Structure 1
Amino acid sequence: MKKCPECGNPSYDGAPVCGNCGYKFPKQKVTVQKEESIFEKPPELSKKPSTSNESTINILKEKKLVIGAILLITLIVICGIVLTGPNNNNKSTATGGELVKVSEGAFAFKHPKSWEEINGSDSEHRNAKFFKNGDNTIIEYYNSTVESTSLKKITQDRINYAQNNNSFVELVETITLDGRNASNIILENADGNYTRYVSLFSDNNLYVFKISGSSINSVTSPDITEMINSADIA
């Protein structure tokens, strides 16, 4: 309630004039409360965490790197196939030269074309074939029918014969040729040279590679090893 300044009559706060004397009350000024927090501080924008976005970008980058690596490897393989050409069974993997196939009945093997077939003699095996490679190593092949039924006994008999002739046994081992057991023997002869015997036994037939050279390396060279590994019994 408010009082009229002229007559003192009480009036309600919002009355524009006094109900008793007609005095016009002055208009009240309306003040608006200023919120400093709204006008003084700039609005803050909430930032969502970007972890998921960054993870997605990293995954995409990693996938691009993997795809790029796969494409590069594929390109290298294709270039290799184009440059080397299709596989050829007549190509030597050890020397890179052409191979020649030798067949003796049911037995066959391959040797580099660069080998020279030479005349040789073996009084015990007249059907023997002789070759010479680029290192002047002599490779003899022969086959014979034997009464023994054990490759182990054949190997032991050869060792005994070598020792009786003052040869030193450098190596005796069993290897696999054409899915069958074969013996591999390296001897150092009394004259300082080396002889290697690789023997494969099947159905009372003995197939032998006899390699003679000036050193162990000469009788175990890659081209000779490749020739031995090509042995096949039909």
Structure 2
Amino acid sequence: MKKCPECGNPSYDGAPACGNCGYKFPKMKPSAPKKEIFDKAPEKKKKQFSDEESTIEIIKENKILIGAIILITIIVICGIVITGPNNNNQTAQSGDMVKFSEAGFSFSYPSSWNEVNGTDSDHEGSVFFKNENGTIIQYYNVSNDSTSLKDITQDRISYAQENGNYIDTVQTITLDGRNASDVILEQSNGNYTRYVSLFSNGELYVFKISGDSLNSINSSDINTVLQTADIA
């Protein structure tokens, strides 16, 4: 309740004027709303990145993981290059030489040599190479019942003479710490054939080298290959 300032007559709080004397009460100012004690904190806006900025941020955040993946990839690739395929007949690149391995016997030949197709009905499974001079180098291995390399060499000489070939050279050389037979035949057509043979545990390993001159079958690259022969 409120009282009229003119006559003192009581009136209700919301009355616009005094009911006794007609005095008009002044209008009341609206009360201000109570302010919340705790204002809600404004939300932080997430930083927006362009596509390029997002990529950079991802790389920065994951640089250790990315580095590890790259390192593993390099190691795997290097392993494949070094070891090569795992086959019975293996060739492995090493500098300017390629390693050939078969049935416990191996040798290395220049990468400039080409493996070519060839046939030898008496020695199936032979492998043929051609060097830069066009000389053919054939390799094969066979089981042999002979008791010594000397007997094998004598049989080869006898067979050559029966077929009208001239025996140019017969000598013993050392390959893989073992004695090896080195026989050079001159054929009736003027070409030359060289047989370099190693014998171990009933297995005969043979390089048959065919060319048009003594120099071609005795070239330095061929002799270098012969020195890499290895019986496991």
With structure 1 as the length reference, what TM-score do the two structures score? 0.59
Instruction: Find the counterpart in structure 1 of residue 94 from structure 2.
Output: 90
Counterpart code for 1:182: A
Instruction: Find the counterpart in structure 2 of residue 3 from structure 1.
Output: none
Instruction: Find the counterpart in structure 1 of residue 168 from structure 2.
Output: 170
Instruction: Provide Cα deviations, 1:118-161, integer angstroms capped at 9, x if missing partner.
Output: 00000011110000001110000000001111100100000011
Secondary structure of 2:146's counterpart equals: coil
> How many positions carry a matched residue from both structures?
140
With structure 2 as the length reference, what TM-score do the two structures score? 0.59
Instruction: Provide Cα deviations, 1:81-107, integer angstroms capped at 9, x if missing partner.
Output: xxxxxxxx934xxxxxx0000001110
Q: Distance in 1 between matches of 2:211 and 2:97?
A: 22
Return the match for 2:123 from 119, 122, 125.
125
Secondary structure of 1:148's counterpart equals: coil
Instruction: Find the counterpart in structure 1 of residue 84 from structure 2.
Output: none
Return the match for 2:190 from 184, 189, 192.
192
Runs of 4 or more above 4 Å deviation: none
Instruction: Find the counterpart in structure 2 of residue 210 from structure 1.
Output: 208
Alpha-carbon RMSD: 1.1
Using the aligned pairs only, state the percent identity.
59
Q: Distance in 2 between matches of 1:125 and 1:187?
A: 19
Counterpart code for 1:121: T
Runs (5+) with no aligned partner, structure 1: 1-88, 92-97
Q: Distance in 2 between matches of 1:105 and 1:206?
A: 12
Secondary structure of 1:227's counterpart equals: helix
Q: Distance in 1 between matches of 2:116 and 2:151?
A: 32
